[in-house]
Structures are given as structure tokens and as C-alpha cells.
Amino acid sequence: MSVTIYHNPRCSKSRATLELLQQRELNPEIVKYLEMPPDASELRELARKLGLPPRDFLRTGESTWKELGLDPNAVDAAELLELMSAHPILIERPIVVCGERARIGRPPEAVLEILTKP
């Protein structure tokens, strides 16, 4: 089973989710998205797999978002994806992808539902 985690090593939820995957003897591909940000197309695909609009995995509490001074409801999905790519700190974390499904690891156990066959 191929598993990918969009990981921020400084985030406790991200570390806990990675540990949960490793305890299950999964060796996920680790994408340190702050170092290698996904482009808008990759984020669009993540949104599809998550089944969420971009604003639902946008971290509006981050100082970067506040500095931008934008209203998430006034910015369309395409613009949000571009902003998230340009400022990856705005992407909710961690995101785990398994096949055609993805989940945000908040709480970390939330990712377990995509690790079993539908």
C-alpha cells in the first residue's frame, strides 16, 4: 500500500501521525511540504482526494494569513490554491494520502479510515 504524508516535522500532530503510520509498519513517502511546496495543481488533487474545498484545509490562524489580510470567503478556490502553494505554511497538516483518498491527521487517528479498503 502506497502512503504519502505531507509532513511538518515541527508540528506535534504531524509527528504523531507519522509515528502512527510507522507503528503500523507503513513506510510512507514523506513530503516536507514547507521545503518542497506542492503547486496549485497538486493542491487541487489533494482537495479532490480530501473531498474538501481549499478553504477547509487552509490555516487562517497563521500570521502569514493575517499579514495577507484576506477573507477566505472572498477569495475563490483557484486563488486559495495559488496562495497555499506560494505560502505552504497555510496548508493544514498533516495530510495523509492513500490511493484515491486523503485525510487530515487531526486527530492523528483520523487517517486510519483511509488505510483500510473502502
Q: Give the catalytic positions in this structure.
A: 11
Q: Is 5 exposed, middle or buried (0-12, 13-18, 19+ CB in 10 A)?
A: buried
Closest to 84 (Cα-Cα) out of 60, 63, 58: 58
Closest to 98 (Cα-Cα) out of 52, 41, 49: 49
Instruction: Please state, in angstroms and as integers, the Cα–Cα distance from residue 20 to each residue in 23, 47, 78, following that order.
Output: 5, 23, 33
